[in-house]
Chain A
Amino acid sequence: MKAILALADGTVFEGQQFGATGETVGEVVFNTSMTGYQEVLTDPSYKGQIVTMTYPLIGNYGCNEVDIESIGPQVEGFVVREYSAYHSNWRSQWSLDTYLAENNIIGIQNIDTRALTRRLRVHGVMNGCLATEDTDGDLDAASLVEKAQAWHGLVGWDLVQRVTCPDPYAWNQHPSSSNGLHSEDSTPPVNNKFRVVAMDFGIKYNILRQLTKHGCEVQVVPAKTKAEEILAANPDGVFLSNGPGDPMPLDYAIKTIQELLGKKPVFGICLGHQLLGLALGGKTYKLKFGHRGANQPVKHLETDQVEITSQNHGFCVDIDSLPNTVDITHINLNDNTLEGIQHREYPAFSVQYHPEASPGPHDASYLFSRFMQMMEDI
């Protein structure tokens, strides 16, 4: 079945549908990871976005019930050069087509994804509309372009409300908590040494798995949970999760963080890092086309070591906006943007990238140990 991806600048890519049918709008972004499409699909940080994979063959190893980062696929649409109908891997349970269809995600294949990526790199990410033929075989490119142009976009929109958990829950009761990664699970977890509250702005399961593995008993709470509620539980530390979209409209979260600072050790990842930056008085801005992939070099300024990191963000904390109470700990070697901060007095630190990986390299998993150390030291 024919499908079209129309961009707000009028560019139209025509291809074939896979997964679900219908119509969707979102911000069109590209991810350069060569593996890990299922983790990408299920990462809540992609809420509101139509994701293009730059690697051309997708679906090769199918999908399974383990490699998920949230309850199911979160992207608005999925764009690939060639979808592989055949899936081959010893863990594969479903084809990607089935997986997307069952989760009502539209996929388009057989378009020049490199041309699309170059367009996004040169002109910046833009809104797009992805649609498949209707029952009459009609699909009007011009109207799709209009829909893309009409869409409000991510800036200023609180997308967290679409992905945060409705009620608090204990991670060790969650069905996905037992789904280990066979490689990382070779070392037995330390037994619940610390009690951590994780603020869920769209948290990835692997963060929770990592926290557990490092010895935390994790209580996941909705994004709007107030500081006093968290403090009432008297946790050893608070974790600020990743999540989708623009951090600026999340004033409730910023306020909560401000109230927690200095009282409890705080560790933030991705959106959590941006919120910590805002809470500390910094500013955020939107990157032209963001960082999405598994090969981003980040320098750890304390050790001068370089970590190859997994990243997924379109917004960024302005490195010059931070007060002098904040130390810059990590920078991105590709474009020298801010990747990590630590407060000089309070036990609080955060990174823009994803030490929990999934998908991506495990180079930065030491940051979880550092959080444990911080809680230990208090």
Chain B
Amino acid sequence: MPKRTDIEKILIIGSGAIIIGQACEFDYSGTQACKALKEEGYQIVLVNSNPATIMTDPDFADRTYVEPITPDTVELVIEKERPDALLPTLGGQTALNVSVALAESGVLDKYDVELIGAKLPAIQKAEDRALFKQAMEKIGLDVPKSGIAHTTQEAIALVDEIGFPAIIRPAFTLGGTGGGIAYNIEEYQKMVATGLALSPINELLIEESIIGWKEFELEVMRDGADNVVIICSIENVDPMGVHTGDSITVAPIQTLTDKEYQEMRDSAIKIIREIGVDTGGSNIQFAVDPKTGKQVVIEMNPRVSRSSALASKATGFPIAKIAAKLAVGYNLDEIPNDITAETPACFEPTIDYVVVKIPRWAFEKFQGTDETLTTQMKSVGEAMSIGGTFKEALQKGLRSLETGWYGFDNHPLEELPLSELSSKLTIPNVERIFYIKSALKRGMSIDDIYSYTHIDPFFLYNLQEIVDFEKILGTPHTQLFTENGKSDAERTSLLRQAKQFGFSDRQLAEIYDISETQVRETRKTLGIEATFKTVDTCAAEFEAETPYYYSTCSSEDEVRPTDKEKIMILGGGPNRIGQGIEFDYCCVHAAMALKTDGYETIMVNSNPETVSTDYDTSDRLYFEPLTCEDVLNIYDKEKPIGVIVQFGGQTPLNLAMALKDAGVPIIGTSPEDIARSENRQLFKEVLDEIGLMQPPNGTATSSKEAVPIAASLGYPVIVRPSFVLGGRAMQIVYDEKLLQEYMDSAVQASPEHPVLIDKYLEEAIEVDVDAISDGHLTVIGGIMEHIEEAGVHSGDSDCVLPPYTLVDEQIDQLKEYTYALAKALNVRGLMNVQYAIKNDEIFVLEVNPRASRTVPFVSKAIGVPLAKLAARVMAGKTLDELRFTNEIEPSYFSVKAPVFPFNRFPGANSRLGPEMKSTGEVMGIDDDVSRAFAKAQKACGYTLPLKGNAFISVRNKDKRSVIFIAKKLTDMGFELIATHGTAKVLLRNGMDVQLVYSIGKGRPTIHDYIKNHAVDLIINTPTGDLHRTNELLIRQMAIENDIPIFSTIPGAAAAVNAIDALQSGEISVTPLQDYHK
């Protein structure tokens, strides 16, 4: 069927803030959908609260609503825009849930909006456990046995049917707390009792255990003519029991025969038909018993997913784009395959390489939580790698992670006692793959390792091959890098094999104890170069039109560089806390802008979730690790006239010096100037020269040095290692004892890695400034005033643009300082400065002469694409030529609010501090600052209550300031609950307060109130480490029960004002296009 002409306007819902389990992949899918449907002439209305997305760039949709993705707000958008159709399947679970809510509540019927892609019954059938089970039984497919229990009796009855081992999962507990596997009835009864008590709704899911089975996924697409194709098959290296998002996965499937694969394919086709997904992509997961080959269906996502993004990047088949086209009526055979141009999209991609995806975690930021990998996803990002063999792809993937590994390296704890090693192998954990290496090196057999890990022996054997080969390399007579040893032919052959096994130059350098440069030079002398091959969906059966490349060590290189002027953009690698979608956004903008200026753009990145790794974002895409070796290989091949390192976050910046030393032309602010801003001493000279102040500070290379420095500065002080992003290991310490602890345990200070100690400016206002400079002129993009005081990491603070409490003189001063800094650091491109204002004095906290996390937010707030302008400036344009010389102060307010992953990490300290812990952010825009704040809170998932009970417990120094907040709450009709100290203050100030006991000092406590659902808002400021556990408990309960909680006085004040604004009228929605007019 050709495309539908009975619909004109389509509503697309995004996925909101980046959270664990829902990251940039939905920007990738939403962006593809917007592009594809706009191309077809439809009007696009978009709702997404995440400003860091490409899809919310105002030119990707006709009407872009950066508004909370909640049923009531989306209803307002529908009421205003009257779309004909809603495409619910491209914005992750968030979009799907909101669409279902709108359909079920009758909103879609009321406004005559059609769900396209997947209809309500299909979504319900796939999402509802019982309906799904029924559907599978109907088509003769097996699912693991399971059932729901609300009482011990029900649970006992269930286990009779399910058998042991049985998995107990309490509903709605934080991070699945209280769940487990029971192997006998006694254990089971105990776990059932605990689980029922912990679940807020006293509900347990009891499941048959298939832990240890092999896990597989198929990406399926169906069109309106009922054509079904499998786009990609994925095998999880980690067996069932580890969430697929936390598993190392491989595409395509490696260990199934065709008979078994076809059985799975048949099942997938039956499933998508039975569930009734009309058009588009679905992800279906299967488990296979390794002993009998029995296949069971685990689940189906009736929408594009994280795996779809991976599958798209792994095969070159743009699933989201095609899904969007199918939703408006096209059939698969009517859509061309972009990559071959000549053949249709109705086929099954076949690949002639191996793809490995490896997750990246952030447990170091959530200390105290259990680091076991379970069925709940905990990773924050992933790297994908492509290689000619599993070994090569795995080693490339491990170095793509940028976590200090350069391949399948040795674990530092190699000498663990066997009992500990076996437990590291048995209990899935972040470094399990490296423990496997330790085991292999000790001579543990594949069978034994299998019995601990249940990782298929095929993969273990491949790991064994790497270990065995490394042994050959390591033997003394294997001198690859000295000419007096083996013949050139022998050296070439060994070195070639090393590269075919994926060894990096860095690993070889370590084995032979020489420099990486030396390895590189010898390798090149012997003629061993990386060869580049094309990702073409068809294993070379047809010629590829799209330049999407990966490297592998083989004989033929397919890349034919053009003689155009090229600029290479280095991406940000896998998402991590502190470096995610915001930087990818900047890289994508650079590619778009430089393309328009006539350059050929070359993108290098290893993150499959991103828009930057779409084959049509840049002219050439290299899906490669962001290490010096891999980037230089591409550079040698393409010889770009400039390389941009300032957009991809810390990843490319860390390479800048080495690249420059190797002769790579870095454009924009020079690596030396970037280093000047990061080196404490050099930066101090810069500030002295232009007469700006820093908080008093010092540098310590040992804990001995740290103590007198801190004493002279006066506590509290902020301590941190140098050269980090996202405030890694940054802490406020209040006394010498804590300082000692920090120096001894948290960091390993040394002359090469000094620790920076700053005086902590208490209760200062923190301000972020983003600016752009062409070397002569500097223009401020935006000044953001933080709501939380300085000391909370800027990525974790709410902030307001334009400032809401600063006076004109302060703003002017901030601007002047920023101009001076840009000049002093010779900035060409973007710059971010963080200031603290205390007692009317302005201190410079930090300068980053590169793209910052706030660039997309500012760009959206002021309606100017800063990253695009910066890229063009770096390539030689002036701001004058680009007509960006006037600073914009919007007449409306934009509030940025962070979103935290604490619900995934029970037990971790959830207090905010200088170390960043948020995974993403949202934006609220309104003419009124309080309403903008309310929108931002709502977009984070915290709907501010309009009435009810507010619990207040603040530290002594906040008791004065909380009086007004509390008073305002009572004026607005809230009842107050407070702990002893706070209650007394409030009572004395004429307010009615219900008293609760501090936990452990009597009953009722706040715990009881929360359990009774009698708390709607919490204001709880931390009192230092003394009551840490109490506060932690309160925060944890608030998180579990979705109660808005404010832990700073300014935050609480903003919330109270926002409630006031909400009480005085409904919120309204306005698209960015109207704000930017």
Contacts and interface: CB of A to CB of B under 8 A. Distances in A.
A308 B353 CA distance: 21
A308 B344 CA distance: 12
Given A57-B254, A84-B458, A334-B343, A90 B354 contact: no
B542 interface: yes
A35 B556 contact: no
Interface in B359-391: 388-390
Contact of A32 (B253, B258, B456, B538): B538
B1002 interface: no
Given A88-B458, A117-B539, A295-B348, A57 B354 contact: yes
B886 interface: no
B416 interface: no
Given A61-B256, A82-B389, A114 B347 contact: no
Given A295-B350, A305-B227, A81 B389 contact: yes
A57 B390 contact: yes
A334 B542 contact: yes
Contacts of A242: none
A117 B458 contact: no
Given A32-B539, A89-B256, A117-B540, A54 B350 contact: yes
Q: Interface SS of chain B: helix, strand, loop or mixed?
A: loop
B290 interface: yes
B263 A182 contact: yes
Contacts of A57: 254, 354, 389-390
B323 to A, nearest CB: 17
B252 interface: yes
B351 A55 contact: yes
B293 interface: yes
B257 A56 contact: no
Interface string A66-107: 110000000000000110111111110000000000000000
B533 interface: yes
Contacts of B556: 112, 114-115, 118
A81 B539 CA distance: 13
B291 A118 contact: no
Please classify how large the interface on chain A is, using the bins under 10, 10 to 19, 20 to 34, 35 or more.
Answer: 35 or more
Contacts of B389: 56-57, 81-82
Interface in A336-378: 357-362
Nearest to B333: A306
B350 A34 contact: yes
Interface in B439-498: 446, 456-458, 461-462
A114 B456 contact: no
A258 interface: no
Contact of A183 (B262, B332, B390): B262
Contacts of A32: 350, 352, 538-539, 541
Interface stretch (A147-155, A162-170, A216-224, A296-304): A296-304
A39 interface: yes
Contacts of A39: 258
A258 to B, nearest CB: 35
Given A88-B457, A182-B259, A295-B348, A333 B343 contact: yes
B227 A115 contact: no
A55 B539 contact: yes
A235 interface: no
A30 B350 CA distance: 13
A306 B263 contact: no
Given A32-B541, A114-B540, A117-B352, A183 B263 contact: yes
B257 A91 contact: yes
A153 B266 CA distance: 38
Contacts of A86: 446, 457-458, 461-462
Given A295-B349, A297-B347, A115 B257 contact: no
B259 A181 contact: yes
Contacts of B346: 297, 306, 333
A94 to B, nearest CB: 13
A225 B639 CA distance: 66
A56 B388 contact: yes
A232 B457 CA distance: 56
Interface of B: 140, 225-227, 229-230, 233, 252-263, 265-266, 290-293, 331-333, 342-344, 346-354, 388-390, 446, 456-458, 461-462, 500, 533, 538-543, 554-556, 558
16 contacts: A30-B539, A32-B352, A33-B258, A35-B261, A54-B352, A55-B351, A90-B291, A114-B554, A115-B554, A118-B556, A181-B259, A293-B350, A333-B333, A334-B542, A359-B258, A362-B265
Given A34-B233, A55-B252, 16 more contacts: A34-B253, A35-B256, A36-B258, A54-B541, A81-B389, A85-B461, A91-B293, A112-B554, A115-B554, A117-B352, A186-B140, A297-B333, A306-B225, A333-B333, A333-B346, A334-B542
Task: List the 5 closest pairs (A to B, CB-CB), nearest first.
Answer: A36-B258, A183-B263, A86-B461, A115-B556, A54-B539
